[in-house]
Amino acid sequence: MTDIPATTPDEKTTPATTPEPSEQEDHETALESLASICTVLALGLFVMTFIFQNFEIPSASMEKTLLIGDHVLVDRISLAPPSHWAPFVHHRDVRRGDIIVFLKPHPETPDLYLVKRCIGIPGDRIHLRDGIVYLNGVAQNEPYAGMPRDDGDPSDAYIPYRDDFPADLSGIEEQASLNNASLWALDLPNHIVDGDLVVPPGSVFAMGDNRTESLDGRYWGFVPRENIVGRPLFVYWSFLTPTDQINKTAFTDRIGFMGHILLHFFSETRWSRTFHIVR
């Protein structure tokens, strides 16, 4: 016969219940949520600072490749020097034809970013004739490049120092002085061999696609490798922007244009350029 343990008057059974969450548990959950949000924000800040960065195109120097008002996402990793802390990240050197974002050499204003196309890498020999680029003696087929033409527009007309670069040294020197680039005018003859500009080690030569509207390496010289920030990947948003908007730096002008964007966001956004790949 099995013995059944007796219960004493002090022993009472109660049904199992789910414990109510304590105030401390609620407080810990809120902290965990805050920590998660901070982690996401920190990761986003890291990505947008060291991996990707957004830039707005303010001028017509890269038309038709990039338009005024294009907002591009720039890859800051692949053209950066290899780093020991991220050996899994793909790095490569700049190639001819790459579109690059870089800090302008000897800028008139600090932290002036430009976007141009890499025309020559170290050791390349470059000259222009009637606006056509000759790379190592071979004329380049550049369907994206704007050439001088006789269409009545003075900015498109043939100009020796610009379109037969670097043959017209006196014209280049005059333009360099106008663009605060006198050091380039002095240094340029040291890099000319048999009429060709020879790109020195550690630098690249860059020009805008809109050759008649671009203040580029012809005016201020080579781009040091360490000045290159990255390369634009695609246009994530493009808004119809006036050509002279870059010159409107007053606070009232900026606020006014922001209001214009809010009012005309849908009608003046270039929707066809959204996610346009930059090549």
Q: What angle do CA 136, 140, 146 make, to 5 degrees?
A: 130
pLDDT > 90: what percent of the chain? 62
Q: What is the pTM of this model?
A: 0.80
Report the C-alpha gap between 25 and 27 in whole angstroms.
5
Report the C-alpha gap between 122 and 66 in whole angstroms.
26
Report the C-alpha gap between 114 and 91 in whole angstroms.
21
Six-digit token string for 64: 């038709």
pLDDT category, 180, cuts 50, 70, 90? confident
Burial zone of 14 (CB within 10 Å; 0-12 exposed, 13-18 middle, 19+ buried): exposed
55 within 8 A of 135, measured Cβ to Cβ? no
Domains of the chain: 57-277 (2.10.109.10)
Bond from prior residue into 64 cis (ω within 30 degrees of 0): yes
Contacts of 144 (CB under 8 A, 6+ apart): 64, 65, 209
Q: What is the DSSP letter of 146?
A: B
pLDDT at 204: 97
pLDDT surpassing 90 at residue 273: yes
- pLDDT tens profile 211-246: 999 999 999 999 999 999 999 999 999 999 999 999
